[in-house]
């Protein structure tokens, strides 16, 4: 009986964190796709690391993350293209210390103005999510690998 | 301590509503894609509004919503094309009055008979969801914007 | 009042199972896409059935499921192509006996090495999920239909 109650408690805790992660990613990626560079960077820890396949070396810290998005967004705006980042098939592994190891499939959809959308990139994203003092999730570390690269 | 308990209560409530919204959309869009026009329209409030980019003005009320889907589905059937609407990256903002403001990325996938599927449209969907007397979610207002339009 | 409490209990139970199914699929499909054939087959019941559109008749049992994935993965490796299976728009219907009838939209994304990803197939997946003695979800029966086939 105790086991069953504990199981329900554990599974409820998992449901809470699973919904929270999905909601976090929805907002996080909407900020990115909207070009809200600073707000997006603030969803990383101050020392957050983003190891992106397009960058020669990891981007570290909110100032660098902000600058990277500002530049990318300006290029897309000049090109007249809207990108959307979707983190799907989310696998959440809660850790003993309260952090979350999260793996997801990332689709990047690109839509040119007056044109058809295309699946631009298919990637796997591996995040380490932690909580700030108020309990909010933040990305401490992100590593993205592209399916088109060996 | 009280704060922490309240936080868990709040986060459990959010998980409930987040799962419910995803389940609602899964069924809602399956009805649409199956051409179940009336059943789909009944997932809107009686005075539900759908501001679609393809329509010159908002569609209002279940009769008009039903008629719109019946026509669209007949056209697709004649064309031999199956459409799928996926609402992904769902961002749910519960409001004080119990309604839900929901923003999601919408993919419309089109598959011709014996042909390859294509990403037909990429959109952003903004819904106001409310509950009927039995507590079931309904769309009161939907606004869709296409990524290929400025 | 009692009704409302029961409603909250029921909705919390649904949130638990909904998160669990999404997490199950994320891991299940990552195993498949990684070519972890045996581990993937073990997420079916020992007598699990997979009625796939590409197979002339249903694949039954873990040994056959393993062999099927090993062959498919070897072919993809030779071709230099990475496939990703995403089960989205998940509709979960809990049954009286504790099993789950789950319908989802399945996207199969194919990415050739050094090439652009493409939406390879769009399908509907209908699963019967059951629990093993430890309460873990397993696929007892899967039926997949392709949108490009009548």
At residue B63, what are phi and psi to the nearest 5 degrees? -65, -45
pLDDT at C118: 98
Residue C7 pLDDT grade (very low, low, confident, very high; cuts 50, 70, 90):
confident
Collapse the DSSP code of C32 into the 3-class scheme (helix H, G, I; strand E, B; otherwise coil) and give the result: helix
Tokens of A120: 């631009």
Q: What is the spatial distance between Cα C88 and Cα C14, in angstroms, rounded to a whole number?
A: 17
- What mean pLDDT, rounded, does chain B reach? 95
Q: What is the pLDDT of residues B111-142, one digit of tens each?
A: 999 999 999 999 999 999 999 999 999 999 99
Token pair, residue C21, equals: 């199914």
- What pLDDT sits at residue A111? 98
Taking the C-alpha atoms of A5, A6, A10 and A12 in order, what is their torsion angle to the nearest 10 degrees?
A: 20
**Among A145, A120, A131, A143, residue whose Cα is nearest residue A24:** A131
What pLDDT does A2 receive? 46
For chain C, give the number of residues: 150
Query: What proportions of chain A, in percent to the nearest 5, are helix, strand and coil?
Result: 35, 40, 25
pLDDT tops 50 at residue A129? yes
Q: Which residues of C touch A91 (CB under 8 A)?
A: 23, 26-27, 30
- Tokens encoding C69: 């994935």
Pairwise CB contact (< 8 Å): B109 & C104:
no
Interface probe for C, chosen from B26, B86, B105 (most Cβ of C below 10 Å), is B26
Nearest to C148 among B18, B22, B113 (CB): B113
Which pLDDT does position C95 carry in this prediction? 97
Res B5: pLDDT: 66
* CB-CB under 8 Å, C26 with A89: yes
The model's pLDDT over A62-113, given as tens digits with 9 standing for 90+, comes to 999 999 999 999 999 999 999 999 999 999 999 999 999 999 999 999 999 9
The whole-number average pLDDT for the span A113-137 is: 97
Residue range C97-120: mean pLDDT, rounded: 98
Q: Which residues of B touch C91 (CB under 8 A)?
A: 23, 26-27, 30
pLDDT of residue B86: 98
pTM of the model as a whole: 0.96
Nearest residue in B to A135, CA atom: B7
Asked if residue C3 has pLDDT above 80, the reply is no
Q: Do A150 and C26 touch (CB under 8 A)?
A: no
Are A73 and A35 contacting, i.e. CB atoms less than 8 angstroms apart?
Answer: yes
pLDDT in tens, C9-67: 899 999 999 999 999 999 999 999 999 999 999 999 999 999 988 788 999 999 999 99
In chain A, pLDDT over 70 holds for what percent of residues? 96
pLDDT at C2: 46
Q: pLDDT tier at C135 (50, 70, 90 boundaries)?
A: very high
Nearest to B105 among A16, A19, A86 (CB): A86
For B116, the token pair is: 């390859």
| Residues A148 and A56: beta-carbon distance below 8 Å | no
Model confidence pLDDT, tens digit, residues A35-49: 999 999 999 999 999
What is the strand order of the sheet A100-112 is part of?
A59-60, A44-51, A137-146, A118-131, A100-112, A81-94
- DSSP symbols for B43-79: TEEEEEEEE-TTSSS-EESHHHHHHHHHHHHHHHHHH
Rounded distance between C-alpha atoms, residue C42 and residue C108, angstroms = 21
Residues 113-132 of C with CB under 8 A from B: 118-122
Phi, psi of B69 (to 5 degrees): -70, -40
Using alpha carbons, list the distances in angstroms from residue B142 to A38, B65, B69, B113: 29, 12, 15, 30
Give the pLDDT score at B147.
Answer: 98
Q: Which chains reach chain A with 3 or more Cβ–Cβ distances below 8 angstroms? A: B, C
Q: What is the ipTM of this complex?
A: 0.95
With an 8 Å Cβ cutoff, is A145 touching chain B? no
> What's the average model confidence in pLDDT over B103-114?
98
Mean pLDDT of C100-118: 98
pLDDT at site A99: 98
Contact B126, B101 (CB under 8 A): yes
DSSP 8-state class, residue A115: S
Q: How far is B115 from chain C (nearest CA, A)?
A: 6
Mean pLDDT, rounded, for B66-72: 96
State the average pLDDT over residues C65-81. 97
Is a pLDDT exceeding 70 seen at residue A51? yes
Give the per-residue pLDDT at A4: 61
Residue B39 has pLDDT above 90, yes or no: yes
How long a stretch of residues is chain B? 150
φ/ψ of B76, rounded to 5, equals -65, -40
């Amino acid at each position: 009986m105790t086991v069953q109650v504990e199981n329900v408690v554990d599974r409820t805790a998992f449901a809470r964190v699973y919904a929270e992660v999905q909601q976090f990613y929805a907002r996080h990626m909407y900020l990115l796709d909207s070009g809200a560079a600073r707000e997006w960077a603030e969803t990383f820890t101050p020392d957050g690391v983003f190891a992106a396949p397009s960058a020669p070396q990891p981007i570290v810290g909110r100032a660098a993350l902000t600058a990277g998005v500002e530049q990318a967004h300006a290029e897309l705006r000049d090109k007249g293209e809207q990108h959307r980042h979707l983190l799907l098939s989310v696998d959440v592994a809660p850790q003993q210390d309260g952090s979350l190891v999260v793996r997801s499939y990332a689709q990047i959809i690109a839509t040119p103005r007056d044109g058809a959308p295309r699946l631009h990139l298919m990637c796997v994203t591996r995040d380490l999510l932690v909580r700030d003092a108020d309990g909010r999730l933040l990305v401490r570390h992100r590593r993205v690998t592209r399916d088109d690269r060996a």
